Chain A
Amino acid sequence: MYQNLSPSRRAYEITARVLLYLCSGLTCVLLLFLIGYIFYKGVPGISWSFLTTAESVLNDTVGILPAIINTLYVIVISLIIVLPLGVGGAIYLTEYARNRRLVEIIEFATETLAGIPSIIYALVGNIIFCVSLQLGKTLIAGSLTLVIMTLPTIIRTTQESLKTVPQSYREGSLGLGSGKWHMIRTVVLPSSVDGIVTGCILAVGRIVGESAILMYTVSVSTMMQDFSTIENFLKSSGATLTVALYVYAKERADFAVAFSIATILLILTVVINLAASLAGKKLKR
């Protein structure tokens, strides 16, 4: 490949190539090592009862079912709230807002919000939802705080995908006598489902990985919660997987359980992301 080059240029090209290979190789090795190590340490601790029961002090058994349910709770509730809010906001900003200046300010604000450390959201969420709105340290307060955290992500990714919808689709639809919302609903949104799904995946990733917010706004209980009535549903409070991981590793120094939880977290993230992209493909049709 480099035969025709002068020796110095040849050395230069080969060095660059080797360095780049090393970079990507090292990245892969690190990632594989991390995943491998977590699985190696975590998989032995996973059993049917580990996944399907709550922790029992009397029987001295460990189970993370409550943490799994709590994690799904915050993901589902946060997404139910953040999706309409974020997608709606993005539609307004890209399709309706006429004042360029205002849009720029809002876009700048959402970009800034996306980069704020989550501990700050945690603090604000605690003061607003737990204290001022008297929700207490509950899963619902945690979910609402997560909504604020993921809102910028959803708005940004939705906006980006709305901008990639060709203007000619909009003209075509309006030219046939569609109203503006009809045009958006039938032509623009179906074409930007991909971007919205990407936003969801990113949001779920951040929610699953979040610990600071949940420690500030939800309790660290590892007991089974009671979701039987709406009141209990709103009042329930307990550790999600990340928080449970922290509790086991830091407070009880039980690293085997912590690694098993980490394994479940990894698997859960992959499953949710696959589900989201499947749902996206279905919606597109």
Chain B
Amino acid sequence: MAEPTILKAEGLDLFYGDHQALKSISMDIPEHEITALIGPSGCGKSTFLKTINRMNDLVPGVTIKGKITYHGQDIYSPGLDVTWLRKRIGMVFQKPNPFPMSIFDNVAYGPRTHGVRSKKKLDEIVEQSLRSAAIWDEVKDRLKSSALSLSGGQQQRLCIARALAVEPDVLLMDEATSALDPISTSKIEDLSTELKRNYTIVMVTHNMQQAARIADKTAFFLLGELVEFNDTVQMFSKPRDKRTEDYITGRFG
């Protein structure tokens, strides 16, 4: 049974100056599923991910053609409030990037930004977010200590908690486990499959086993093109495109 589409790209072109990084990408991302973006370095998968919550706005010289809609709304339309968009579409980065503040303040950062002042409400949000990110038990006794004292894997789960605290409905993960050890990685993978009940997850990964393990749908990018986009099971058992097959069987990449 197909889930409704939450994000839809239509003929999306993206240029860094003269270099075309994305070529006419069209793709429907379903709600409450994990969609993995795979492909060799420089294929445009991260660029595509950052286009979804307009983090590419920060890069000078980017031009975008075509359309991305979120719940049917064009996210590059002039009237759209980017801060609203980024609140709805959260992001977890490749390297854990907690702020140099306490664990509590990290998670409370987003809600405070969006105007939550009540201490009681913040306590609730922080606890709930840390629980959702499966790190509450590890940090509940030291919420006041610096987030930088946590291990890499804990920091990344804290960053997930921080993203969840603003109640997004899409979570973008940009190689969120590539800097972590296998145990932390598997924790975050388990967490992702838990989270998809309430959130839609789009993740970039270099690790094909990871995509095969947890993604419902997988998209294969190559040189800025979307080569194939299909159910993960289909993609890994019966790829339609020769290039996909070559990549997932490790013949290049």
User: What is the interface of chain A, defined by CB distance below 8 A to chain B?
Assistant: 98, 166, 168-179, 182, 186-187, 190-191
A177 touches B97 (CB 8 A): no
Whether the Cβ atoms of A168 and B162 lie closer than 8 Å is no
A176 touches B166 (CB 8 A): yes
Size band of the interface chain B makes with A:
20 to 34
Q: Which residues in B have their C-beta under 8 angstroms from that of A177?
A: 83-87, 110, 113-114, 166
With A175-B90, A177-B87: A169-B162 Cβ-Cβ less than 8 Å: no
Contacts A175-B86, A175-B91, A176-B113 aside, 13 further interface pairs with beta carbons under 8 A come to A98-B60, A168-B93, A168-B95, A169-B97, A169-B100, A171-B58, A171-B93, A174-B55, A176-B110, A177-B83, A177-B86, A177-B110, A177-B166
Point out the residues of chain B lying under 8 angstroms from A169, CB to CB: 97, 99-100
| B34 proximal to A (CB < 8 A) | no
B58 to chain A, nearest CB (A): 7
Q: Is the CB of A176 within 8 A of B109?
A: yes
Interface residues of B (CB under 8 A from A): 53, 55, 58, 60, 83-87, 90-91, 93, 95, 97-101, 109-110, 113-114, 159, 162-163, 166
CB pair B53 A175 closer than 8 Å: yes
Q: What residues of B have a CB within 8 angstroms of the CB of A186 in the complex?
A: 109, 113
Across the interface, name the chain B residue whose C-beta is closest to A170.
Answer: B58
Cβ contact within 8 Å between A178 and B83: yes
A275 shortest CB reach to chain B, Å = 24
Residues of chain A within 8 A (CB-CB) of B85 are 177
**Of A175, A178, A182, A190, which contacts B93 at CB under 8 A?**
A175
- A184 shortest CB reach to chain B, Å: 13
Smallest CB–CB gap between B237 and chain A, Å? 35
Bound together, the chains give a CA A178 to CA B53 distance in angstroms of 13
B95 surroundings in chain A (CB, below 8 A): 168
26 A-B pairs (CB sep. < 8 Å): A168-B93, A169-B99, A169-B100, A171-B55, A171-B97, A172-B93, A172-B97, A172-B98, A172-B159, A173-B99, A174-B58, A175-B53, A175-B90, A175-B91, A176-B86, A176-B90, A176-B109, A176-B110, A176-B162, A176-B163, A177-B83, A177-B85, A177-B86, A177-B110, A177-B166, A179-B83
Taken together as a complex, chains A and B put the C-alpha atoms of A175 and B49 apart, in Å, by 12
Smallest CB separation, B37 vs chain A (Å): 17
